[in-house]
Chains A and B, each alone.
Chain A
Amino acid sequence: MNISNNDTNIAQVAIKNSETDYQIITLHEFLKKGSSERTSLVLGKKAEFIDFEGNKINLLEALKSITELIKKLRSEGTLVDSMR
């Protein structure tokens, strides 16, 4: 089971690997990364959250949205399944 596209307005995450190398991954792929890697990417300003129209989402809003999503999945008992 993957995170449904209807659960959030975050479509993709752009990861900056270098000045010339950006990788576009899904939110699901981003959340599957280890927590330390996620934290490092966010604090290092190397992760950009993008909506379904291709626009940049404010970082705070994106993180709040993800936190809400995780809380919701936890309360439904589907977090572990969703992260597979």
Chain B
Amino acid sequence: MQQLENETTANSLISSLDFSIDALWVLIAAALVFLMQAGFKSLEVGMVRRHQVAAVAMKNMVDWTVGSIIFFIVGFGLMFGHSLEGFLGTDLFLPSNWNAEGSHPLGPVFFMFQLAFVGTAITIVSGSMSERTGFIPYLTASVIIALVIYPVFGHWVWGNLFFEDNAAWLADLGFIDFAGATVVHSVGAWVSLAGLKLLGPRLGRYDHAGNLREFEPNSIPMAVMGVFILWFGWWGFNGGSTLAFGTDVGVIILNTNLAGAAAALVAYLHSFVFQNKANIYEKMLGGALGGLVAITASPHIQTPLTSLAIGAIAGVIHNLSFDMLTKKWKIDDAVGAIPVHGFCGIFGTLAVALFAPAETLPNGRLTQFGVQLIGVVTCFIWAGGIGYAMFYLLKKTVGLRVSPDEERKGIMLYHVKEEESESDPSDEELLELMKEMN
């Protein structure tokens, strides 16, 4: 009898210890993902031009503050609340009771981990649209991403993480996106693409012939530091997505690291051999991040070898999409976010069906590929579509773009009245010339 009691007590202690270790690990992982904000800040400050660094850094600050509040009030509920037919969460707004029946035991720790992901999605948009977007449209975009765009798509894929019995229509099809190659990264990228299409390139970005003009980055060493911080943060991003501290955490982090390393090396070599070394630093840095994004969809079921392969292919995809966007489509993405988060996100999500061992997939390989494709296309339509509508409305109301003067001298996060030039010509002179023009 005494032995049975002792065993029960021991089991209870072990169970409690397991829970504490899981909670601690996920909290550490959330901290690592939070640290990625500093990584994005350093990367973006390194990649943009010197006169824009203050505004870019401050926008990263805005990402986190806006995301923290909006996601707590509404976003978390839409993403993880009890589901309306797998499409939308309906409760957990302004959450105060973390012990609802059937909810995830980590409660607030789970919230903090998820919040760190929202911040990442928002900051992707701020980076790509740097150097010419006004503060008001940017702030509005951050709110809408945290309020609707991210949580609704997130519900479709991860809506069953907090309440296990929740429906989540993409997850129910068998869609796999372990840590958010599509949910986090592609959402940010497609909102960015919509914004950039409406915003237009930075002044002076293309020459007479329409060729890309190089803008000197503020500091490549700063950008490299940003990539290293991001890389480190990715250990939490992917490793923490287990939501428990098991033996698989080590494998996940190993696979993550291998994919990033392979992508960086291949992106560098590809640029060196096939692309005339154009933007070679940006491509190596972006390639590393592209590899990390790609493996994010499935680090838990890949092997080290398939992780290397996914990373290597992502490196090439990054470089090709980088050139296609900037040179052919004339989309001026200030920090190269769309090749990294968008194109490598697509590849990584599809690669789940191509590279993961068949027994780890919920469907046959071909069916799984179809499901992954549905998820990727849905994300593009949802995030790109709502993003486009949002930026279109902003353009037609408050406007998207700062004055040319601010673009040249540095964006202020508050309004400064422009000084009139004393050398402006008289109205008579102007009228005379305008008559000649007509």
Interface of A toward B, CB cutoff 8 Å: 5-6, 11-12, 14, 16-24, 35, 38-39, 42-43, 45, 48, 50-56, 58-60, 63-64, 66-67, 70
Q: Which of B136, B207, B402, B433 contacts A60 (CB 8 A)?
A: B433
B424 with A22: CB separation less than 8 A: no
Q: A12-B203, A54-B408, A60-B425 are contacts. A45–B420 as well, Cβ < 8 Å? A: yes
B contact residues around A38 at 8 Å (CB) = 434, 437-438
B431 within 8 A of A: yes
Interface size classification for chain B: 35 or more
A52 with B434: CB separation less than 8 A: no
Q: Dominant SS at the B interface?
A: loop
Interface string of B413-438 (1 = CB under 8 A from A): 00101001001110101110110111
Name the residue on B nearest A7 (C-beta). B208
A63 with B204: CB separation less than 8 A: no
7 contacts between A and B (CB under 8 A): A12-B203, A14-B404, A20-B399, A53-B204, A60-B425, A63-B433, A64-B433
B415 with A22: CB separation less than 8 A: no
A59 with B424: CB separation less than 8 A: yes
The 8 closest A-B pairs by CB, nearest first: A21-B399, A54-B204, A54-B203, A63-B433, A35-B438, A5-B208, A53-B204, A14-B404
B contact residues around A58 at 8 Å (CB) = 423
Name the residue on A nearest B432 (C-beta). A63
B399 with A17: CB separation less than 8 A: yes
B contact residues around A39 at 8 Å (CB) = 431, 434, 438
A contact residues around B433 at 8 Å (CB) = 60, 63-64, 67
A contact residues around B402 at 8 Å (CB) = 22
Q: Which of B213, B404, B423, B434 contacts A48 (CB 8 A)?
A: B404
CA distance A40 to B11 in the complex (A): 82
Q: How far is the CB of B271 from chain A (nearest CB, A)?
A: 26
CA distance A66 to B437 in the complex (A): 7
Q: A59-B424, A60-B425 are contacts. A19–B436 as well, Cβ < 8 Å? A: no
Q: How far is the CB of A25 from chain B (nearest CB, A)?
A: 9
Q: How far is the CB of B88 from chain A (nearest CB, A)?
A: 33
B341 within 8 A of A: no
CA distance A18 to B399 in the complex (A): 8
Q: How far is the CB of A70 from chain B (nearest CB, A)?
A: 6
B contact residues around A22 at 8 Å (CB) = 399, 401-404
CA distance A63 to B420 in the complex (A): 19
Q: Which of A21, A52, A70 contacts B437 (CB 8 A)?
A: A70
A6 with B399: CB separation less than 8 A: no
B contact residues around A16 at 8 Å (CB) = 403
B contact residues around A23 at 8 Å (CB) = 399, 401
> Which of A5, A22, A43, A70 has the most chain B CB atoms closer than 10 A to its own CB?
A22
A contact residues around B210 at 8 Å (CB) = 5
A contact residues around B22 at 8 Å (CB) = none
A20 with B200: CB separation less than 8 A: no
Q: Which of B200, B430, B431, B438 contacts A24 (CB 8 A)?
A: B200
Within 8 A of A (CB), among B146-181: none
Q: How far is the CB of B89 from chain A (nearest CB, A)?
A: 34
A63 with B437: CB separation less than 8 A: yes
